[in-house]
Amino acid sequence: MIRPLLSAALFAAILVCLGCGSDNSTGSHPGTPVSVRQLDYGCQGQLDSVAFRTGSAWLNGYAFDGDTLTLDIHFDANCCPAFVESALLYEHAIAIEAADTLFGCRCMCDYDNEFLVPWSTPGQVAVSFKSTAPEHDPALICSFDTLLTLE
**Helix (H) or strand (E) segment spanning residue 77:** strand 68-78
Q: List b or e across 49-83, with b for residues whose CB sees 16 or more CB atoms inside 10 angstroms.
A: eeebeebebebeebebeeeebbbbbbbbbbbebeb
pLDDT digits (tens, 9 = 90+) for 43-59: 887 665 555 555 789 99
Total count of domains within the chain: 1
Tell me, yes or no, whether 102 lies in a domain: yes
| Contact between 70 and 115 (Cβ < 8 Å) | yes
Contact residues for 136 (Cβ-Cβ < 8 A; gap 6+): 52, 103
Tell me, yes or no, whether 98 lies in a domain: yes
Q: Which amino acid is at 46?
A: Q
Tell me, yes or no, whether 145 lies in a domain: yes
Separation between Cα atoms, residue 133 and residue 78, nearest integer Å: 9
pLDDT digits (tens, 9 = 90+) for 89-137: 999 999 999 999 888 888 888 899 999 999 999 999 999 999 988 776 5
Query: What pTM does this model have?
Result: 0.74
Tell me, yes or no, whether 26 lies in a domain: no
